[in-house]
Structure 1
Amino acid sequence: MNAGPGPASAIVSSTDREGFAAFMLRARAAGIEDMTLMSVIESVPRRQFMDAEYHHLAMAPRTIPIACGETLEGLDLQARIIHALHADGVSRVLEIGTGTGFTACVLSRLAKRVYTLERYRTLHQAAAQRIRHLGVTNVISLHADGSSGSQDGPFDRIVSWNAFPSLPRHFVEQLVSGGSMICAIGEADEPQVLVRLTKTGSRFEREDIGTVRFQLIKAGIPRIL
């Protein structure tokens, strides 16, 4: 496991311990027995990634509003997706949709290097500040359009927190052979399928792993926000 948050990090506060214990029970019921992942999630202070009015929901499964009309996914779904990503100590990971920066910090403890892209300047700047504050040194946070991936590839793993309306075939060149991508496929007003896409030759092998409801991915950089 890689070096992650530095001196500024801390194990969850005593007020969160009951919530974390409940999260652990839900994770086990969902078939997630990865104690390394559980330990990493516990070590990243999730309250610091949300407004004070939502601190009581830090370990909850529900989504939480954040700036720019976006949301922080519930902890259960975040854990499920990170678990499905199978990142390890040699993985180069691309994250599309930095949001608050929480999942980038979690991934920083599991992967060798994380490139995280956020199209909203406000979210990018706040997340980059949190990442620096926690002493994370293996996350590269960029204000960028992630709809077509990144020129820093190829990557071992890619995760997108936005949905694609159809199979994102253009991402196959962003992955190393045998690399995988976790994303949702489906329109905003239709059922979306969470999939693992594994690169085999010049194509994807698809495995459906659940259902979600994400905002559709958008191209370009907003002039404001």
Structure 2
Amino acid sequence: MVEKEGFAALVLRLRAEGISDLDLLTAVEQTPRSLFVPPQFAEQAYSSRSIPIECGAFIEGADLAVRLLANLHVKPGQRVLEIGTGSGFIAAVLGRISERVMSIDRYKMLIGAAQRRLDSLALRNVVLRQADGSNGLTGEGTFDRILATAAFPSMPRFLAEQLVSGGVLLAPLMTGEETCTMVRLTKTGSRFDREDLFEVPYLPLVPKVASFL
């Protein structure tokens, strides 16, 4: 019941924002958010507030998660890289609308918990890996879409190089001591078009720590 009511309320809020992509909303509906939050927060799984999870991380509010996915414009047949697995919710939704998802996180514990959730949903095209995301993911070729949910101090050019032509990168940039803006880069040949989208609550990326966690 919580799932149905929560999802219905979320859809109304998203429609008010102009988000009505049926494939995306169907993928969200098929991915029960209460699986991805600690049990004591199940009632708030579809709220717009961030919810704390293990390792001092958090799962972004439902509205923000879907808004990011809507701005990524993922299409069937595409390969997607996610930097910052967290709870695994976004990776799970991406798995329903793309060909293949690689998702990395620096915390072994988060990767393990996310893997169990994906297994319970029988999502086989999502590969999780514990890795330091400050260099993207080398050795896996290029991606059609890249989504980062850890904030970079400046535009991560090395990530843009892991995109195919026509690819899209969504990454949060630190724009002040406490402020962080989601930026979308679209790659055309060797050129990039940049759009600043909206403020987001993400934490700064901490490089080189995956090997210790």
- TM-score tier by shorter-chain length is over 0.9
Matches within 5 A, 1:45-124: 45-124=32-111
Deviation at 1:16, TM superposition (A): 2.7
Matches within 5 A, 1:154-173: 154-173=142-161
Where structure 1 has 5 or more consecutive residues not aligned to the other structure, the ranges are 1-13
- Name the counterpart of 1:202: 190
CA distance in 1 between partners of 2:22 and 2:93 (Å): 13
User: Deviation per CA, 1:96-147, whole angstroms, max 9, x where unpaired?
Assistant: 0001111111000110000000100110111112112211110111111111
Aligned length: 212
CA distance in 2 between partners of 1:129 and 1:221 (Å): 23
Equivalent of 1:37, from 16, 24, 27?
Answer: 24
Deviation at 1:202, TM superposition (A): 2.6
What amino acid maps onto 1:189 in structure 2?
E
CA distance in 2 between partners of 1:206 and 1:79 (Å): 21
Whether 1:191 aligns to 2:200 is no
Deviation at 1:188, TM superposition (A): 6.6
Contact 1:195-1:207 at 8 Å conserved across structures: yes
Matches within 5 A, 1:202-221: 202-221=190-209
Deviation at 1:183, TM superposition (A): 1.0
CA distance in 1 between partners of 2:123 and 2:166 (Å): 28
Q: Provide the TM-score with structure 2 as the length reference.
A: 0.95
CA distance in 2 between partners of 1:146 and 1:133 (Å): 26
Contact 1:164-1:187 at 8 Å conserved across structures: no
CA distance in 2 between partners of 1:188 and 1:108 (Å): 33
- Name the counterpart of 1:180: 168
Runs (4+) off by over 6 Å = none
Alpha carbons of structure 1 residues 219 and 23: separation in structure 2 relative to 1, 3 Å = same
User: What is the SS of the residue equivalent to 2:97?
Assistant: coil
CA distance in 2 between partners of 1:149 and 1:224 (Å): 18
Moved more, 106-115 or 209-218: 209-218
CA distance in 1 between partners of 2:118 and 2:156 (Å): 29
Contact 1:155-1:174 at 8 Å conserved across structures: yes
What amino acid maps onto 1:111 in structure 2?
S
CA distance in 2 between partners of 1:154 and 1:90 (Å): 14
Alpha carbons of structure 1 residues 111 and 58: separation in structure 2 relative to 1, 3 Å = same
User: Deviation per CA, 1:199-219, whole angstroms, max 9, x where unpaired?
Assistant: 123342101121112101121
Q: Provide the TM-score with structure 1 as the length reference.
A: 0.90
- Name the counterpart of 1:9: none
CA distance in 2 between partners of 1:175 and 1:224 (Å): 29
Alpha carbons of structure 1 residues 142 and 223: separation in structure 2 relative to 1, 3 Å = closer
Provide the alpha-carbon RMSD of the alignment.
1.4
Contact 2:134-2:206 at 8 Å conserved across structures: yes
Contact 1:120-1:222 at 8 Å conserved across structures: yes
Where structure 2 has 5 or more consecutive residues not aligned to the other structure, the ranges are none
CA distance in 2 between partners of 1:52 and 1:190 (Å): 30
